[in-house]
Every structure is written in structure tokens, then in C-alpha cells.
A = this chain, B = another copy of it.
Amino acid sequence: MSSDHRVRNIFIQGAISSGFIGEKIADHAAKKNIGGHSIFLGQVRADLKEDKEVTGIEYTSYEEMALEKMHEIRQAIFAKYELTCMHVYHSLGLVSVGEISLFVFASSVHRAPAIEACREVVERIKKELPVWGKELLSDHSHVWKENRN
């Protein structure tokens, strides 16, 4: 089911809404062996870049490669942690400041595997997925997002 061999899509056009996140949480009420969920949400910040405020990020990806890589990460995480399920969503296109662009959701019987897996997946996504973010500035210029370690 959750740890199957199918390559899944993770990309969502535009921001990930809080309603969507709430629905995904509700979907797990039927999984009666889950004891803990760990969720990470990445939100777009109004950083100052070259003295101008970031108003949003336009995400692009080498989608085919990203989905294959994500599949590989997923397989590795399921091999390493005893998870009930895991879901990953990443935005493409424009996400405005204050909106959510990354949603990682791991669940397990006891809490530790969900918490550790969620954290590791976030780190791997940021390091290993071919995704780029064009930070749009208040004067309509742009800079390219750089990830911190």
C-alpha cells in the first residue's frame, strides 16, 4: 500500500492549502494502528534580498528526475523506519509569502519512527530533489533561492 513500488506524483500546482492538509490528516482516522503523526510544513518567508522584500517564490523542477529521486528516498525511508505511511507534497509554480510549499507527513505506531523519518525526508528533499525557487522581489526583479544546510 504505502510502501509500494509505484512512482507517485508529489507536485501540486501553486500553494498547499491548510484545507488540503486538514483533509490529509482526516484521511488517517481510519488507520487505527497509528499512534503518532509527524508533519513538516515549509512556508515562504518575506526575506530581504538586495534590500527588497521577497513577495513569493516560483518553483520549477526537473519533474521526472525529481519523482524518481523521491521514489528512491521513499524506499530508503521505509526500509530504515517502521512507518505506517508517508506522504510528500511539493509546490510548483507561484507560492506567495505566508503560503505553504512543502508538506511532509509521516505516521507510525509509536512516535519515534514518524518523527525521525519526517525530519530525514525533509533534509533529503532539500538536498537531493532537483527543484529550484525563483524569489520574486517587490520591485519585480528576482533572485534564486539558496538552501541553507
Encode contact with B along A13-52: 1 for CB under 8 Å, 0 otherwise: 0000011011101101111111111111111111000000
Residues of B within 8 A of A87 (CB): none
List residues of chain B with CB within 8 A of the CB of A23. 18, 22
Q: Is the interface of A mostly helix, strand, loop or mixed?
A: mixed
What are the residues of chain B within 8 A of A25 when measuring CB–CB? 18, 21-22, 41, 100
A92 interface residue per 8 A CB criterion: no
A70: CB under 8 A from chain B?
A: no
- Whether B46 and A33, one on each chain, are in contact in the complex, defined by CB atoms closer than 8 angstroms, is yes
**B97 in contact with A40 (CB, 8 Å):** no
Q: Are B37 and A40 in contact, CB atoms less than 8 angstroms apart?
A: yes
One complex includes copies of this chain to the number of 2
Q: How far in angstroms is the closest Cβ of chain B from A5?
A: 27
Cα of A44 to Cα of B28 in the assembled complex, Å: 11
A119 touches B115 (CB 8 A): yes
Q: Encode contact with B along A83-120: 1 for CB under 8 Å, 0 otherwise.
A: 00000000000000111100000010111000100010
Query: A43 touching B35 by the CB < 8 A rule?
Result: yes
Shortest Cβ distance from residue A100 to the other chain B in the assembled complex, whole angstroms: 8
